[in-house]
Amino acid sequence: MKIFEVASVKDCGDYYELDHILSNLNQDFENRSLTLGLNTYAATLIKKAIDNNVIVRINKDYLGPDVVAKDLIFVNSQTELELKKKALIQKVRQLVTHQQANVSGLMMYEYIAINNELCDKGFFIHDDNKEEVYLSILETGDEALIDKLERYLNARDIISRSSYLEQEYTKFYLNMNEADESEYEEVYNSFVKQYLSQVK
């Protein structure tokens, strides 16, 4: 029988609070109504936290079948406001990371490789001259070059959106850390609204 560990938790509204860890070998496993699967590393971190009398909370919006390390919230001497803000920061980080997953290593490689080829042929593209250079390439009538331009533009668009999103996340992170009790929810809602408008 495969042995795995789960977290027995309490639903606290915005997050789960850990009660204790148990395995599928525990006699009371089947009687627990609210348990979450843990990957091995997350289970190890939780055990260390318990040994050090640190409260463990779990982000409710975790992705995947099991809770992983980034889904854990360790409560030391933080205030309730700090905990709420940290939970919202984690939610936004997940949104951003999910969207950035669209940028693959192959796409980045293709973008760089095609950019180098275009430069080699005398087409140097930057924000101030991009439309002019695009037209110059189209006017060559070179189908292979035009195809490369199209692939370049697709990759550039996705990479640019990902970069912009990371910059906006950094602003959100700073604003959230500075927000007080009356501001932090608005900071979060504002970012999510902007994010949703960008990914449609």
Q: Print the domain residue range for 190.
A: 105-199
- Does the residue 93 lie in any domain? no
Whole-angstrom Cα distance, residue 27 to residue 116? Answer: 63
pLDDT at 24: 59
Distance of alpha carbon 178 from alpha carbon 184, whole angstroms:
8
HEC per residue, 138-182: HHHCCHHHHHHHHHHHHHHHHHHHHHHHHHHHHHHHHHHHHCCCC
pLDDT one-digit tens code per residue, 29-64 = 444 568 888 989 999 998 888 877 788 899 888 877
The last residue of a domain, from among 34, 60, 77 = 77
pLDDT recorded at residue 26: 52
Tell me, yes or no, whether 122 lies in a domain.
yes
Return mean pLDDT, the chain: 85
d(CA 108, CA 128) in angstroms, rounded, equals 22
- Which amino acid, 60? K
Residues 134 and 185 in one domain: yes
Sequence letter at residue 158: I
Are 129 and 66 found together in one domain?
no
Residue 32 inside a domain? The answer is yes
Q: If you average pLDDT over residues 161-171, what whole number do you get? A: 90
- For residues 111 and 185, state if they share a domain: yes
Could you give the percent of the chain with pLDDT greater than 70?
92
State which of 77, 92, 121 marks the end of a domain. 77
Do 72 and 116 sit in the same domain of this protein?
Answer: no
Question: Based on the structure, what is the number of domains in the chain?
Answer: 2
Tally Cβ neighbours within 10 Å of residue 30.
Answer: 8
Same-domain status, 71 and 127: no
